[in-house]
Every structure is written in structure tokens, then in C-alpha cells.
Amino acid sequence: MPIAAADLISRASKILQDEQHIRWEVPELLEWINDAAREIIVRRPAARAVTDVLTLAEGTKQDLPADSVELLDVVRNIKADGSTPGRAIRRVDRQLLDDQYPDWHAARKSGTIKHFAFDERSPKVFYVYPPAVAGAKVEALYSQLPPTITQESEAIDMGAEYVNVMVSYMVYRAFSKDSEFANGTVAALHYQAFIDAVTDNNQITTAFSPNANSV
């Protein structure tokens, strides 16, 4: 369920003791809501994971939509009607393909994908095997940025479980602002609270990558 921007602003303003928005105005609080959502998703991609049917380009190299952050999985083929499920797709180590079939990028194109490969260094790109015919469809899971909000009456498309996390980020940004109200110590405490909430110390930054578990 989306989080009302007005609720986030109200909570942050109470902590800041600025409920009339004299020191920190609503437009900048809205900016920090958007910034908080983006940083949460970058640090924890599954925070806003979407399942979508992607239409593939011809060949092996495929790009995620512009508003994506990172690929999480490529699940299955989808028939031409855009909804009928097809063969499951398995992840494969690209080096394995390179070693066993160096010419796999030039293999015969197909409308049915068997494998995909992914490199965390390029999180918006993945490769498919066999090479796709233009227009082939697959179902993919990937993290996506929420639409930017610009009005207090709008809602940010994030789960309600991230309310406290976003408020911590907003307060951190408010106390970090270079003004007579800046307080680096308090800002650091709120930023640490934000980091602690979105970071699992038992996982590396690629924890949500398709390569996180061995095949």
C-alpha cells in the first residue's frame, strides 16, 4: 500500500519540531521523500520488486526498462499473446557458456529462451541463450524506482513497512542542511538508523542478485 506523503511529512516535522514548516518547507521535504525511496531501493532492491513481461530485442544482450534499478530474476517464457506461460528459464554462469560454447552469442535465434546470465557490474543488463528473435517475451522480476511525487497530497509507491525508514532519512537530510538549524551529530544518528534498517549485515550488497546462489 502506498505511503501518503502528508503522513511522512507530518511525522518528520514532529521530530524536527517544525510542524508549521517554517525552517524546512514542504517542497524540500517532498524531495527528501523521493531521495529516501531511491536510496532504499538501491540498498535493498527487493524493497520495490515488480514482475513484468519484457519484450526482448534480437540477440543475446537485453536491457531492463529505464526506471529499473537491478535485475532480480528471469522466470519463464511468455507466449506471443503476452500472458500464456511457457518454458521455465534457468540462470547460468556466463563464464560457463563462454568456456563451453564461445560462439553462443552467434547461435541460431529462437523464440524460446532456455537460460539467462547476469553480471552485477551492469545491473540493468542481462544476456539470454539461445539468442532471442526480436519480439520474444519473458517474465522478469526486477527492482524499479517509484514515480516521483511533487505534491503533499500524493503518495509514494512504497510498502508501509518503510515509513519509519523514510522518516529517518528525511530527518537526517533536514539536520544536514547547511543552515543555522544544522546538527551534524543528530543527522548522523538518524542516518545510521536509516542504514541499520535497510542493510542486513549478514548479506553482501549483491544479496538479491540472480548470482547470489549457486545453480
Distance CA 137, CA 147 (A): 25
CA-to-CA separations, 36 to 3, 61, 91, 206, in angstroms, rounded: 12, 31, 32, 20
pLDDT at residue 155, as a whole number: 97
Distance CA 141, CA 53 (A): 9
How do residues 97-122 score in pLDDT, each as one tens digit?
999 999 999 999 999 999 999 998 99
Q: Are 111 and 101 in contact (CB under 8 A)?
A: no
pLDDT at residue 210, as a whole number: 64
DSSP E strands in the chain: the ranges are 3-4, 49-55, 59-63, 68-78, 85-88, 90-91, 115-118, 125-132, 137-144, 155-156
Pick the closest to residue 58 from 123, 117, 110 (CA basis). 110
Distance CA 45, CA 110 (A): 31
Distance CA 192, CA 55 (A): 41
Q: What is the mean pLDDT of residues 40-56?
A: 93
Identify the bridge partners of residue 144 per DSSP, sorted by sequence position: 68
Give me the sheet containing 85-88, strands edge to edge: 49-55, 137-144, 68-78, 85-88
Q: If pLDDT is split at 50, 70 and 90, which confidence band does 52 have? A: very high
Instruction: Kindly report the number of other CB atoms within 10 A of residue 107's CB atom.
Output: 13
How do residues 191-203 score in pLDDT, each as one tens digit?
899 998 888 533 5
The values of phi and psi at residue 56, to 5°, are -80, 150
Q: For the ranges 33-37, 141-145, 205-209, which has the lowest average pLDDT?
A: 205-209
pLDDT at residue 208, as a whole number: 57
* Cell digits of residue 19: 510542524
Angle subtended at Cα 155 by Cα 74 and Cα 206, rounded to the nearest 5 degrees: 30
Please, what is the average pLDDT of the chain?
A: 90
Q: What is the mean pLDDT of residues 133-154?
A: 96
